[in-house]
Amino acid sequence: MTTLELSPTPDSWLTVCEEARLTPGRGVTALLPDGRQAAVFKDRSGRTYAIDNRDPFTGAQVLARGLVGSAGGRPFVASPLLKQRFDLETGRCLDDAEVTVTVYPVRTVEAGS
Query: Strand locations in the chain, DSSP E?
Result: 2-9, 12-18, 27-31, 37-42, 48-52, 67-71, 74-78, 85-87, 103-104, 106-110
Under the banding of pLDDT at 50, 70 and 90, the label for residue 113 is low
Q: Are 30 and 50 in contact (CB under 8 A)?
A: yes
pLDDT per residue as tens digits for the range 16-54: 999 999 999 999 999 999 999 999 999 989 999 999 999
Mean residue pLDDT of the chain comes to: 95
